[in-house]
Structure 1
Amino acid sequence: MGRTCVSCGALLPITARSHATTCSAACRVAKHRGARRSAQSSVGGEHGSTSRVRSVAMRYGITQASAVALLATAMCQICGTRAPGDSTWHVDHCHSTGAVRGLLCRPCNLGLGMFRDDPDRLRAAAEYLEKDHSAQPWVAA
C-alpha cells in the first residue's frame, strides 16, 4: 500500500518525492493552515503560538518563559497601542548588545529604524516637531 496525503487521505502518486506528505498545492495550504491553528490554540492566540515563542527565544537568546512573558504584553512600548500594525509584533532589541527591550508596533519599529536607534536624533526630531515654525518666510500667514 502506498503513502497517503496527510490532508485529504488520497493516495500519493508513485512519482511523489520521498518527503512529500500532501498530494496537491491545495492540500499543502490546508495542512499549513491546520498546523498554524493548532499551534495558536495550544498557547492561546496568534502572538503566543508555540512556534513564535520558540522563534523569539532562539533568535534573541532568551528563555521560552521570557518569550511567553514578552509576547503576552501585546502592547507597543512606545505608543501604547494594542494593535501591532501588521501581522505580528516586532521584538525591539539593542543592535550592539542584542538585549531585548520590548515589543513595538510596526510604525514605531520603523520609526526607530529610520532614526538608526539614535537617541540624539530622536530628541532633535522631537524638538523640531515642537518648535514654532510660524515665523518661517515660507509659511503662509
Structure 2
Amino acid sequence: MKVCTGCKRSLPLASFAADRNRGDGLQVRCRECVAEYSAAHYRRRQAALGKTVREKADVPEGHKQCRTCGEIKPHSEWHRNASASDGLATRCKACRAVHGRRDHLKRNYNLTEAERDDMVASQMGVCVICLKAPAVHVDHCHETGRVRGVLCFNCNSAIGKLGDDPGTTRRAADYLEGNAWKPILVAPGVYRLPS
C-alpha cells in the first residue's frame, strides 16, 4: 500500500504508474489524480490559447455526449468507429446526417444548402423535367462539373443512364413519340442516321 500525495488515500501499488526517478519506482500521485491533473492542465492550456474548452460531463454508463449538439445519448444513437478509443463516432447519428448532407453539397457541387434551396425555389419546388415530383437531387454535368438544376430522383437517374448525351435523349424522345429510327449501314461500322 502507498499513500497518494494528491487525494491522501492509501491505495494498492497497482494504482500508481511507474516512475524510475523515485526511490520506490512509482509516481507520488495515483493514476486517478494524475489523469485529473492532466485534464485540468490541458483545459487551462486550451483556454489560454483562446480555444473553447468543453467541460467534462457526467455521462451515465452506456451513454455518450455528442461533440456537435452537446446532448447525452445512448450508444444506440451512434455509428461505430473501430479506430476510436470507445469504438463510437464523435457525432451522434442525427448530427452526422445533417453535417453529411451539408458537406456532400459543398464537396461535390460547391454549393451551400441556402444556394440549393434558392435553386429549388426558382423552380417552384418541382423537377424541371417532369414538372410533378419534388426537386431534391442536384443535377450536374459530369464533364465540366457545372450544376444544371435540381431534379427528382427518377429524372436525375434517367439523364445519368442516358449518359448525359443530348443526342441520345432526343432519340429517346423520338422513340417515345413513335418515331423510332433505324440506322442504315453505309459501310462496315458506319451508319447513316435519318434526317
Q: State whether TM-score is above 0.5.
A: yes
Give the letter for the 2:106 counterpart. Answer: A
Shift, 1:129, TM fit:
1.8
**What is the 5 A alignment of 1:1-141?**
3-4=58-59, 11-12=60-61, 22-25=73-76, 27-28=77-78, 32-33=93-94, 35=95, 52-53=101-102, 55-63=104-112, 65-72=114-121, 73=123, 74-83=125-134, 89-131=136-178
The answer to whether the 8 A contact 2:139-2:148 is kept is yes
- TM-score, scaled relative to structure 1: 0.55
Shift, 1:114, TM fit:
1.4
Q: Secondary structure at the match of 1:91?
A: strand
Of Structure 1 and Structure 2, the greater strand share is in: 2
Q: Counterpart of 2:26?
A: none
Structure 1 residues 32 and 117, CA, compared in 2 at 3 Å: closer, same or farther? same
**Quick one: distance in 1 between partners of 2:171 and 2:116?**
33
Shift, 1:53, TM fit:
4.7
Percentage identity across paired residues of the two chains:
33
Larger Cα-atom Rg: 2
Q: Counterpart of 1:46?
A: none
Q: How many residues align?
A: 107
Shift, 1:56, TM fit:
1.7
- TM-score, scaled relative to structure 2: 0.42
The answer to whether the 8 A contact 1:92-1:102 is kept is yes
Q: Secondary structure at the match of 1:78?
A: coil
* Uncovered stretches (5+) of structure 2, i.e. residues with no partner: 1-55, 80-91, 181-195
Shift, 1:118, TM fit:
0.6
Structure 1 residues 91 and 131, CA, compared in 2 at 3 Å: closer, same or farther? same
Write the deviation string for residues 89-134 of structure 1: whole angstroms up to 9, x where unpaired: 111000011000001111111211111111101111111221268x
Shift, 1:75, TM fit:
1.5
Write the deviation string for residues 12-65 of structure 1: whole angstroms up to 9, x where unpaired: 35xx8998964331x449x645x58xx9xxxxxxxxx78645532342123554
Of Structure 1 and Structure 2, the greater helix share is in: 1
**Quick one: distance in 2 between partners of 1:63 and 1:19?**
24
Indicate the RMSD between aligned Cα atoms, in angstroms. 3.9
Give the letter for the 1:91 counterpart. Answer: V
